[in-house]
Chains A and B, each alone.
Chain A
Amino acid sequence: MQRIIKDGKVVNETWHLLGKDATLDGMPNCDDLIVPLSLWREHAHALKARDGGLGVWLEAGEEIEEIADQLEHFQVIALNFPAFTDGRHSSTAYMLRTRYGYKGEVRAIGDVLRDQMFALKRCGFDAFAVREDKDPFDALKGLDDFSEVYQASADQPLPLFRRRQA
C-alpha cells in the first residue's frame, strides 16, 4: 500500500487515484476515488450519486477556475506535477486556499520530491504523494527546511514585514 504525507505525518493511502482514461464502467460504489477532471466534466451527476468519497485531479495545464463553483463536491483536490520543476499548480493551490476558501485536502501528485515540499506547503498543499521511488519519511524532513519566511501565502496570512513590526 502506498504511503503519503498528510498534515505532516506519513499515513497509509486510502484513496484510489483513477488514470486519465478512467470510465464509469465497473466503478466501485463505496471506495474513495480521485477522478480525472475529464471524467468529472462528463459524469458529475453520476459521481456525486456514489456513496464513496470523491476527489478530482488536475493536470498542470488544467485551470481551477473550471471547477471553482463546484468545490463543495470534493474532499480531495489533487494537483499533478508532470515534473517537479513545473510550478503552475503552486498558483492553483494558493488560489484554492485564499481565493476560493477550499478547506478540503489539496494533494500534490506526480513528480513530488522532498526539496519542493516546503514551498508547496506554503502555497496550501497539505498532502503529498511523494514519488514512489523516494522514501516518504525522508521527504518529511523537507517540510522543515526553513524556520522563517518573508512572504504572505496560504500558510501565513501576514508577510514578515507586518509581523516584524508587531
Chain B
Amino acid sequence: MYVYDEYDQKIVEDRVKQFRDQTRRYLAGELSGEEFRPLRLQNGLYIQRFAPMLRVAVPYGLLSSRQVRMLAKIARDYDKGYAHISTRQNVQFNWPELEDIPDILAELATVQMHAIQTSGNCIRNTTTDQFAGVAKDELVDPRPWCEIIRQWSTFHPEFSHLPRKFKIAVNGSTSDRAAIEVHDIGLEAVKNAEGELGFRVSVGGGLGRTPVIGSFINEFLPWKHLLSYLDAILRVYNRYGRRDNKYKARIKILVKALTPEVFAERVNAEWEHLKDGPTTLTEAELQRVASCFVDPAYQALEDQDAALAQLDAEHPGFARWRSRNVFPHKKPGYCAVTLSLKPTGVAPGDVTDKQFDAIADLADRYSFGEVRNSHNQNIILADVEQRQLFTLWGELREHGFATPNVGLLTDIICCPGGDFCSLANAKSIPIAEAIQRRFDDLDYLFDLGNIDLNISGCMNACGHHHVGHIGILGVDKKGQEFYQVSLGGSSGRDASLAQILGPSFAQDDMADVIDKLINVYVEKRGEDESFLDTFRRVGIDPFKERVYATNH
C-alpha cells in the first residue's frame, strides 16, 4: 500500500496542529459554533444525537494491520469499545469527546491516518473496488489512481468550499464493484485500441434526495490529463453549481440543468487552459505511486480445487461459507476472503476493539498484513492462500466473522440511522435486525441467492437505498417513524435506480413486508433467475399487489 514520505507526513501533522488550535479556539469561545462547524466537518467531526461522531478516512478502503490496531486502540481508549465501517469505506467512532479529538488525530497521524475531508462540502474519500489488485476480472489496478487523486484532492485550495459534498469513485474491472455511476465523478480505467491507458469519465451521478445515474462525458481521457481534467470539472462546478438551495447544490443538478453535452463543452473549454500544464501527470510520478501497489511476495502455488472440494464434502458449513465469502483471486492458489460484519444481532458494519485486534492479527498471519473495508460494510483479507482457508475459517468463526451471508439478503447495507445520527428521520439498525431474524434459515437464504438490501434512515441515502435490489428509506410522518420500500435498484455496471413500491409501512410490519416481497420473487422466478432479473422481467405490479392486498 502507499507509504507516506516526509511530505505526506508533514501535511498530516500540520493538520493535527491546525485542528488542535481550531478546537481550542472553539472551546475558548473565539470561534462561534457556526464558524467552527465547517472546520470540524471538513475533519469528519459531526455533533450527533448523543456525542460527536468522528469519521476517520480510510483512503479507498485500504488498511495495514498497524492501522487496524490503532483503530482498536482508539475504540478502546476514546470510545465505547467499538467502531463502524461506513459505506464510503471509512471508519466512524460514535462516542468520542470533542476535547479528545486533537489527541485522537495525533495518534492517527503516527500510523499515517487522518480524518481530512471525510465530511463537509469538499472532495471526499475516493473509493474503489474492495478487490482492487487481486480481482480476476481487473484490467487496471485502480489503487495508484485513487492515491494520485487523494493527494490532488487533499486541501485543494480552490475546491475547499464547494456548493456541496463531492464524491469520486474509480473502477478498473469488468464488473463495477465501486458503483461509479452513482458518484459525482465516476472513473473507469480503460485501454484504447493502441493499448494506452485512459479513463471513461462519468459525471453527475449520485444518491441523496434526487438520485441520478451519471452521464459519461468523456469516453477516453488519456491518463496524463486526469488531474487537469478533474480540475476543469471541479472549476465549472465550483463556479456554477447552485449555492442557493442545498438540496439542489450537487453537481448532478448542474449537469441536468445544462444537459450533459453542454456541461461537457464547458469542461472542455476550461480544460483547454489547463491541459498540458504543470498538473499533467508524469511517468515518474505514476511509477512512484504504482510501486507502492506491486504484488506482495506471492508464492508459486496451485489452485486447491480438489482439496477444497473434499473439505466441502466433509464440512457443509465450510462449503457454505466458501461459496459466499470467498472470492476468486488472480493468482493460482490464492483467494480473497470477506469477513462478514453482518451477523444477526450486531449493527451492520460494527466492529469491536477486540475484533479489530483479531483482524490485524489475521491480516499479519494470512494476508500480508493488509485488509480492505468494502462499501458493503464488510472487511476483506485479499491475499489468502487456499491451502490455509480451512484453518482461517475456524479462526473467523471464533471471532464472529464467518457468517456465510456475503451478497445474501442478510448482508444488509445500513446507515447508523436514528440510533446515532441526528439527521435521520428513523432508526435503521432495528429494521436490519428484524429482517435478519425473520430470515434466519440459511438454506432458504442460499436458495434466494444474491439480493442487495439497503437501508437508509433518511433521504441523505448513506445506506444507498436507491441502488438496493430492495431499498428501505426511513421517513418521518407526523413525528412517527415509517419506512418506504423501493425495488429494482442496482449499483453495478447495469446501474439502475429503485422504484418506490407505494405508501410506507410501520416499523413492526417491515419484516412481514420483506417476507411478502420475497414470496412473490420465489413464485415468479425462472430457473436460476436472480431477484433483480425477476423484478426487471415482471415489473413492480405483482409485488405491489401482494404487499398492499387486504386479507390475502
Contact = CB atoms under 8 A, between A and B. Distances in A.
Contacts of B35: 84, 113, 115
Given A146-B11, A149-B11, A150-B151, A87 B162 contact: yes
Report whether over half of chain B's contact residues are helix, strand or loop; otherwise say mixed.
Answer: helix
A159 B273 contact: no
Contacts of A152: 277-279
A120 interface: yes
Interface stretch (A17-25, A30-38, A70-78, A88-96): A88-96
A153 B279 CA distance: 9
Contact of B238 (A87, A149, A151): A87
B450 to A, nearest CB: 40
Interface in A131-166: 138, 145-153, 157-162, 164-165
B226 to A, nearest CB: 12
Contacts of B154: 150
B537 interface: no
A149 B161 CA distance: 17
Given A85-B121, A99-B273, A149 B157 contact: yes
Contacts of A148: 7, 10-11, 14
Contacts of B548: none
Given A147-B10, A149-B11, A151-B156, A91 B39 contact: no
B50 interface: no
Interface stretch (B84-92, B202-210, B281-289): B281-289
Interface size class of chain B, counting residues whose CB lies under 8 Å from the partner chain: 35 or more
A122 B160 CA distance: 12
B298 interface: no
Nearest to A120: B157
B239 interface: yes
A74 B423 CA distance: 47
A145 B14 CA distance: 7
Most chain B CB within 10 A, of A63, A86, A138, A150, is at: A150
A87 B238 CA distance: 7
A149 B156 CA distance: 9
B344 interface: no
A119 interface: yes
Given A113-B35, A145-B18, A150-B152, A91 B158 contact: yes
Give the interface size bracket for A toward B: 35 or more
Interface in A89-117: 90-91, 94, 99, 113, 115-116
Interface in B522-544: none
Nearest to A92: B239
Nearest to A122: B157
A56 interface: no
Contact of A151 (B14, B15, B152): B152
B159 to A, nearest CB: 7
A54 interface: no
B242 to A, nearest CB: 11
A94 B160 CA distance: 13
Contact of B235 (A91, A113, A160): A91
A71 B5 CA distance: 42
21 contacts: A86-B243, A87-B160, A87-B161, A87-B238, A88-B239, A90-B159, A91-B238, A113-B35, A115-B35, A115-B39, A138-B30, A145-B18, A146-B15, A147-B14, A149-B157, A152-B278, A157-B278, A158-B278, A161-B288, A164-B288, A165-B288
Interface of B: 5, 7, 10-11, 14-15, 18, 22, 30-31, 35, 38-39, 121, 151-152, 154-162, 227, 235, 238-239, 243, 273, 277-279, 281-282, 284-285, 288
